[in-house]
């Protein structure tokens, strides 16, 4: 029975790593609710395609560097790479803080993305927890990301009025530097990695059929998220909710989505039912996008559909990285999570750019309709995923991966 409980080190690891994600993502999310409305004040900021590029540039840089960061952490350790990435992220934040045109903002956002530590943080979480508790830790990280998003929705309009967009970027950099203290003081030290991990980890991470399904999924999930937030703030304003009051909708919606997330995540963890829960969440996501395309500017309907979106999003954010960490062998876990996070952040870039381009030419309905088609394609591909079995409480083993 004792092994069924999380150890004190696992709890500490989950809480501290969730805190790192939270501090970093809070700074990132503070930009999302207000940037599309602020952008016309920048030179070139009246071009929605460039606004989408500014939102998504972070994801492009992350996509390029997640695998190198993950592989480097397999060789030299997780914590040094996390600290280096946080410093780079802060530098990009301070560059964007001084921007007076959209291109400098894009450059700052790109430098932010060059601190590509997501795969390293998730790999460290996997290193410090047993497989049977990994979904719980991923849920802690996902919940902290969601909480940071909710807090940003409440705080961003007020902070924007108080300190402006430049101040928001400065705050983003300060929060990233604060996360370094969390790494140094609170994150447990994992056991040492071998100096030279076995070859073939990157090839497995790129070509494994099961991992490909998960990587495609996280790409679509974050492309949809970013494309939505090119148009959702303006749609809410059109529905009669002024920008400073958006938090009145976002906060209860996001908090309620946490409550809706917990039962399916706990069921997936306790019953080893990750596959059916994941497919159900994808189906809900597709239905939500299709309904948003038809909803128009009705505030109550938009609130309900955003609640459904965030519930599905939070479930998938908890399940997918847990499945990746279970399927990847330990020696290549950083590489596998690097590929996963590359797909995730490439989705952010493509979603921001494509969402802005589509919105400028065809409007919000086309954005939601395109998102619905993407999610349906993901659902069809994900149906072929095999159930992930536990063997003696341990992870999906390498001989299963090699058997394909």
Rounded CA gap, 312 and 282, in Å? Answer: 7
pLDDT of the residue at 135: 67
Residue 280: pLDDT over 90: yes
Up-side HSE of residue 176: CA atoms within 13 Å toward CB? 29
Hey, how many other C-beta atoms are within 10 angstroms of the C-beta on 144?
A: 21
pLDDT of the residue at 102: 93
pLDDT of the residue at 138: 72
pLDDT of the residue at 279: 94
Burial, 330: exposed, middle or buried (Cβ in 10 Å; 0-12, 13-18, 19+)? middle
pLDDT digits (tens, 9 = 90+) for 338-380: 788 788 778 878 888 899 899 989 999 999 999 999 999 999 9
pLDDT of the residue at 404: 31
Residue 330: pLDDT over 70: no
Can you list the alpha helix ranges (DSSP code H) found in 39-117? 48-76, 78-97, 102-114
Residues above pLDDT 70, as percent of the chain: 86
Least confident of 163-167, 221-225, 252-256, 271-275: 271-275
User: How far, in Å, are 173, 182, 183, 189 from residue 177 at the CA level?
Assistant: 6, 9, 10, 20
Residue 197: pLDDT over 60: no
Most confident of 68-72, 178-182, 290-294: 290-294
Residue 403: pLDDT over 60: no
How much is the mean pLDDT over the chain? 81
pLDDT digits (tens, 9 = 90+) for 252-273: 888 898 889 889 988 887 777 8
Tokens 């095999």 -> residue: 386
pLDDT of the residue at 96: 93
Instruction: Using DSSP, state whether 105 is helix, strand or coil.
Output: helix
pLDDT digits (tens, 9 = 90+) for 104-156: 999 999 999 888 787 788 788 878 887 667 767 777 776 677 677 777 777 88
Instruction: Using DSSP, state whether 390 is helix, strand or coil.
Output: coil
pLDDT of the residue at 205: 65
Angle between helices 78-97 and 118-127 (to 10 degrees): 150
Burial, 47: exposed, middle or buried (Cβ in 10 Å; 0-12, 13-18, 19+)? middle
pLDDT of the residue at 388: 65
pLDDT of the residue at 195: 43
Residue 392: pLDDT over 50: no
Most confident of 33-37, 282-286, 352-356: 282-286
- pTM recorded for the entire structure: 0.73
Q: What is the mean pLDDT of residues 291-315?
A: 91
Residue ranges of domains in the chain, CATH in brackets:
8-188+198-402 (1.20.1250.20)
| DSSP codes, 206-264 | HH-HHHHHHHHHHHHHHHHHHHHHHHHHHHHHHTT--GGGTHHHHHHHHHHHHHHHHHH
pLDDT of the residue at 246: 80
pLDDT of the residue at 290: 96
> Residue 348 is encoded by which pair of tokens?
């952010």
Residue 329: pLDDT over 70: no
Residue 303: pLDDT over 90: yes
Least confident of 39-48, 220-229, 323-332: 323-332
Q: What is the mean pLDDT of residues 312-332?
A: 79
pLDDT of the residue at 201: 60
């Amino acid at each position: 029975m004792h092994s069924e409980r999380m150890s004190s080190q696992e709890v500490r690891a989950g809480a501290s790593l969730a805190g790192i994600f939270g501090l970093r993502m809070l700074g990132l999310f503070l930009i999302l609710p207000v940037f599309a409305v602020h952008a016309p004040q920048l030179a070139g900021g009246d071009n929605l395609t460039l606004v989408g590029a500014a939102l998504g540039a972070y994801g492009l840089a992350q996509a390029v560097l997640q695998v190198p960061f993950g592989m480097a952490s397999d060789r030299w350790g997780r914590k040094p790479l996390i600290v280096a990435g946080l410093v780079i992220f802060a530098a990009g934040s301070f560059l964007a803080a001084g921007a007076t045109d959209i291109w400098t903002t894009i450059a700052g956002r790109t430098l932010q993305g060059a601190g590509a530590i997501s795969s390293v943080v998730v790999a460290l979480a996997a290193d410090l927890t047993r497989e049977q508790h990994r979904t719980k830790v991923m849920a802690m990280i996902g919940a902290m990301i969601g909480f940071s998003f909710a807090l940003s929705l409440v705080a961003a309009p007020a902070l924007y009025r108080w300190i402006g967009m430049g101040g928001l970027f400065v705050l983003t950099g300060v929060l990233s530097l604060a996360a370094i203290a969390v790494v140094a003081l609170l994150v447990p030290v994992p056991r040492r990695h071998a100096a030279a991990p076995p070859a073939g980890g990157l090839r497995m991470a790129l070509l494994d059929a099961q991992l490909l399904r998960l990587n495609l999924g996280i790409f679509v999930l974050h492309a949809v998220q970013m494309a939505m937030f090119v148009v959702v703030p303006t749609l809410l304003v059109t529905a009669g909710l002024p920008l400073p009051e958006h938090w009145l909708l976002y906060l209860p919606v996001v908090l309620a989505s946490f409550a809706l997330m917990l039962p399916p995540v706990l069921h997936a963890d306790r019953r080893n039912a990750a596959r059916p829960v994941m497919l159900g969440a994808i189906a809900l996501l597709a239905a939500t996008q299709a309904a948003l395309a038809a909803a128009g500017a009705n505030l109550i309907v938009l609130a309900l559909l955003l609640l459904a979106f965030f519930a599905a999003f939070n479930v998938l954010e908890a399940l997918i990285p847990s499945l990746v960490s279970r399927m990847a062998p330990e020696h290549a876990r950083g590489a596998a999570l690097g590929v996963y996070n590359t797909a995730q952040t490439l989705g952010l870039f493509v979603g921001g750019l494509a969402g802005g381009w589509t919105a400028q030419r065809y409007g919000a309905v086309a954005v939601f309709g395109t998102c619905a088609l993407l999610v349906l394609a993901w659902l069809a591909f994900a149906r072929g995923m095999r159930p992930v079995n536990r063997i003696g409480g341990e992870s999906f083993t390498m001989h299963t991966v090699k058997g394909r």
